[in-house]
């Protein structure tokens, strides 16, 4: 497995350093998101079996739910297999890591062996990046992608160098759909929620493989019960080691 490196607040951390850094995070000049990131890294690298994650509140009052390490690992491996992510690639984490979308970016980094760069979850996640920045993988919300498409000229180059871009957390408007056709890197709309440990299905929005239908990730089975309610089942599968 590739030795993961995490870059945050101008500093690079190895896995061994991440195990120690959160103990002093409260005394460092870090943002709330940066402290939450280091805290979760410590928990994950301590081999904790269960994690509490708050739902987004999009359909009601946010509530804490318990997810297991096995569930989060399986989700990360499904995404890695679907998008052909490989150890040693670069991931940009620009969503809040206290919620499932950002937190699962961290899990994917550790499980798949991706190097991670953490930036503040802002409307323009490229604002602090140099024009030569290279990333293979990221996850965005529609507002962020819309901002990037209307941003500096080199933003398109950063996006086009990526192998896969996830977009979720809200609907993709017809205007945004038209704009993102200028990007050659594959952009995938996600379907999922905190309770399903982030996305369980994707649909490509651009390029020759664009589709109006979501396709379940490897090992995810979908069905409808007698109440006409959606059933989602994750089948245990074996993944090749990175």
pLDDT greater than 90 at residue 199: yes
Measured distance CA(159)–CA(144) in Å, rounded: 12
pLDDT greater than 60 at residue 237: no
Compare 77 and 236 and report the one with higher pLDDT. Answer: 77
pLDDT greater than 70 at residue 239: no
pLDDT category, 26, cuts 50, 70, 90?
low
pLDDT category, 235, cuts 50, 70, 90?
low
Average pLDDT (39-61) is 87
How much is the pLDDT for 219? 82
pLDDT greater than 70 at residue 220: yes
| pTM of the predicted model as reported, rounded to 2 decimal places | 0.92
pLDDT greater than 70 at residue 38: yes
Average pLDDT (75-95) is 97
Q: What are phi and psi of 32, to 5 degrees?
A: -60, -40
Q: Which segment of 32-41, 111-120, 139-148 scores lowest on mean pLDDT? A: 32-41
For residue range 151-166, what is the model confidence (pLDDT) as tens digits?
999 999 999 999 999 9
Average pLDDT (185-207) is 95
For residue range 108-127, what is the model confidence (pLDDT) as tens digits?
999 999 999 999 999 999 99
């Amino acid at each position: 497995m590739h030795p993961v490196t995490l870059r945050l607040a101008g500093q690079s951390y190895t896995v061994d350093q991440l195990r120690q850094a959160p103990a002093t995070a409260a005394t460092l000049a870090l943002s709330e998101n940066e402290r939450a990131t280091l805290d979760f890294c410590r928990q994950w690298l301590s081999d904790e079996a269960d994690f509490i994650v708050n739902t987004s509140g999009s359909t009601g009052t946010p509530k804490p739910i318990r997810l297991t390490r096995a569930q989060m690992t399986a989700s990360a491996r499904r995404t890695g297999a679907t998008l052909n992510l490989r150890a040693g690639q670069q991931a940009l984490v620009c969503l809040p890591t206290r919620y499932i979308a950002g937190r699962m970016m961290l899990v994917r980094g550790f499980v798949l062996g991706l190097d991670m760069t953490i930036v503040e979850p802002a409307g323009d996640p490229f604002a602090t990046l140099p024009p030569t920045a290279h990333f293979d993988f990221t996850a965005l919300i529609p507002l962020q992608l819309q901002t990037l498409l209307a941003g500096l000229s080199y933003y398109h180059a950063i996006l086009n160098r990526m192998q896969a871009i996830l977009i979720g957390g809200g609907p993709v408007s017809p205007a945004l759909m038209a704009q993102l056709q200028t990007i050659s890197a594959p952009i995938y709309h996600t379907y999922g929620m905190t309770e399903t440990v982030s996305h369980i299905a994707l649909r490509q929005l651009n390029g020759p493989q664009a589709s109006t239908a979501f396709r379940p990730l490897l090992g995810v089975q979908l069905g409808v019960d007698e109440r006409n309610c959606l059933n989602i089942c994750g089948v245990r599968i074996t993944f090749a080691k990175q």
